[in-house]
Chains A and B, each alone.
Chain A
Amino acid sequence: MAEDISPKGVDMSSLLAEITALKQEIIALKRDNEDLQMAMSTIAEHGDTIETQLYETNIKLQTEVAERQRAQTVLQSLLDMLYREKGDLEVIVETIVEHGDILDTQWSQQLRKADMLAASDGLTQISNRRGFDAHLDHQWALMLRSQEPISIILCDVDYFKLFNDYYGHLAGDDCLKSIAQALHASLARPGDLAARYGGEEFAAILPETSLNGALKVAERIQGAIAQLQIPHERSLIHPYITLSIGVACTVPSYEGSPSSLLEKTDQLLYLAKAKGRNQIRHHFDGE
C-alpha cells in the first residue's frame, strides 16, 4: 500500500491535523474576541452611565451649594437685623429704666419743693406754723435723746392793728416782711428756725440753747427790730415798731411735750404784753 505522502515528502495527515487545530484555535480566539468586545462595550456603556450620573449629581450639588449659599446670605442678613434690633432694644430698655429713675428724682424734688412751699409763709418767705410745728417736734425728739435744752421765742408786734389801720395793709405787709427778715438774720445756727406763727406773731426754735443763750438771741432780735426804725405813729409806747417777747427753755422729758413748752412761752409773751409791751419775759422750766 502506497503511503499518503506529498510530493515533497510532507506528512499530509499531520498537516491536516495541525490545520484543524489551528481552525479551532481561531474559532476560540474569535469567541474570545467577541467576548472581549462585549465586555469592552459593556464597560464603556457602564462608564458613560456613571459619567452621566456623576455629571447630574455634580449639577445637583452645585445647585444645592448655590441654594445653601443664598439661604446662608438670607440668614446672615436676618441675623444682622436681629442683632441690630437686639442692640436697639437693649438701649431702649436701658433708656426706659434710667428714664424711670430720673423721673423718680424729678418727682421727689418737686415733692420736696411742694413740701417746703407748704411749710413756708407766702408773705414773709420764712416758715409758717406748719413748718414750725414739724421742726419743733423733730428737735424736741433730738433734744429728748441728747438731754440738751431747747428754747422757744415767741414775739408779737406791738399795736400792729393800729399800725395797719393807720398805714394801710400794704405797709403792714412790708412791716411783717422786714420783721421776718430781721428775725431770720438774728438766728445763726443750722438747727435754729424762724417762723411766722400767726398774723403778727413770730417765733423761733433754738435747739441746744440754754435760757441765757436764748435771751441773747431775743435781745439780738429786739435790737435788729429797733435798728429797722419802722415808724409807728399810733404806738402808745414808742415812735418805732417794737416787739413783746416771751422766751422759755426746757430740757425735754417724757412728762413734758412741745406743746407744753409752747404754752409756757405763750404765757410769757402774754405777760410781756400785759406788763407794758416792748420787753422780754423769760422762764426756765426745769431743775
Chain B
Amino acid sequence: MEIKTEDYRIWYEPDISTIFLQGFLRLDGMEAYKPVMDLAINALERSPLHLTLNLRELEFLNSSGISMLSMFVVKVRQKGDVEMTLEGSDKILWQTKSLKNLQRLMPSLTLILS
C-alpha cells in the first residue's frame, strides 16, 4: 500500500501498524483525497489493536487534507476498538496547532510532537 508522487509519499507498514505521510500534500478537494482515505481505512482494518499515524515529515497539508484526516479520526473513534497515536513534528507550524484539534475529536488519541 503506497501512494507516491514527486511532492508526497504515503504508505503503510503493517509490521509496526504505522501509516506514514511525507512531503507536501495539496490535493484538490475531498474527492482527490479518496485514495488516501481508502489506504488509511484499509490500514485501520488491518491494525486490530493499535494504529500509528506518522506525520513527522509532512511539511504541508491543505484544508481538504486536514478535513480528510479529521474524518478518519472520527471513523477510528466510532470503530471503538483501536487505539491511535499521532506522531508529529513541533518544528512544523501547522502540526503544532491542527493536531491538537484532532484530539478534541478523539480524546483518547495519543499525540506525540517531537
CA gap between A91 and B63 in the complex, in Å: 14
Contact B97 A99 (CB under 8 A): yes
CB distance from B93 to the nearest CB of A (A): 5
CB distance from B60 to the nearest CB of A (A): 7
Q: Which residue of A lies closest to B65 (CB)?
A: A99
CA gap between A100 and B94 in the complex, in Å: 9
CA gap between A103 and B67 in the complex, in Å: 14
A147 at the A/B interface (Cβ < 8 Å)? no
Whether A99 touches B93, Cβ cut-off 8 Å, given contacts A91-B70, A91-B104, is: no
Contact B74 A103 (CB under 8 A): no
Number of A positions contacting B (CB below 8 A):
14
Contact A98 B97 (CB under 8 A): yes
Whether A95 touches B101, Cβ cut-off 8 Å, given contacts A88-B74, A103-B62, A103-B63, is: yes
Contact A88 B105 (CB under 8 A): yes
Contact B94 A106 (CB under 8 A): yes
CB distance from B57 to the nearest CB of A (A): 15
- Chain A hits for B98, CB < 8 A: 95, 98-99, 102
- Chain A hits for B61, CB < 8 A: 99
Number of B positions contacting A (CB below 8 A):
18
A94 at the A/B interface (Cβ < 8 Å)? yes
B71 at the A/B interface (Cβ < 8 Å)? yes
Secondary structure type dominating chain B contacts: helix
Contact B101 A102 (CB under 8 A): no
A27 at the A/B interface (Cβ < 8 Å)? no
- Chain A hits for B43, CB < 8 A: none
Contact B94 A96 (CB under 8 A): no
Whether A103 touches B104, Cβ cut-off 8 Å, given contacts A92-B67, A92-B71, is: no
Contact A96 B105 (CB under 8 A): no
CA gap between A96 and B94 in the complex, in Å: 11
CA gap between A92 and B97 in the complex, in Å: 13
CB distance from B94 to the nearest CB of A (A): 5
Residues of A17-47 contacting chain B, CB below 8 A: none
CA gap between A45 and B83 in the complex, in Å: 70
Contact B97 A91 (CB under 8 A): no
A109 at the A/B interface (Cβ < 8 Å)? yes
Residues of B76-98 contacting chain A, CB below 8 A: 92-94, 97-98
Whether A106 touches B101, Cβ cut-off 8 Å, given contacts A95-B66, A96-B66, A96-B67, is: no
Contact B97 A102 (CB under 8 A): yes
Q: Which residue of B lies closest to A93 (CB)?
A: B67
- Chain A hits for B60, CB < 8 A: 103, 106
Contact A94 B101 (CB under 8 A): yes
CB distance from A87 to the nearest CB of B (A): 9
B102 at the A/B interface (Cβ < 8 Å)? yes
A125 at the A/B interface (Cβ < 8 Å)? no
- Chain A hits for B67, CB < 8 A: 92, 95-96
A105 at the A/B interface (Cβ < 8 Å)? yes
Whether A91 touches B101, Cβ cut-off 8 Å, given contacts A99-B63, A106-B60, is: yes
CB distance from B91 to the nearest CB of A (A): 11
CA gap between A94 and B102 in the complex, in Å: 10
Residues of A176-206 contacting chain B, CB below 8 A: none
CA gap between A102 and B104 in the complex, in Å: 18
Contacts A/B (CB < 8 Å), 13 sampled: A91-B70, A91-B104, A91-B105, A92-B70, A95-B101, A95-B102, A95-B104, A95-B105, A96-B66, A96-B67, A98-B101, A99-B63, A100-B63
Q: 6 closest A-B pairs (Cβ-Cβ)? A: A95-B101, A92-B70, A99-B66, A99-B98, A106-B93, A102-B97
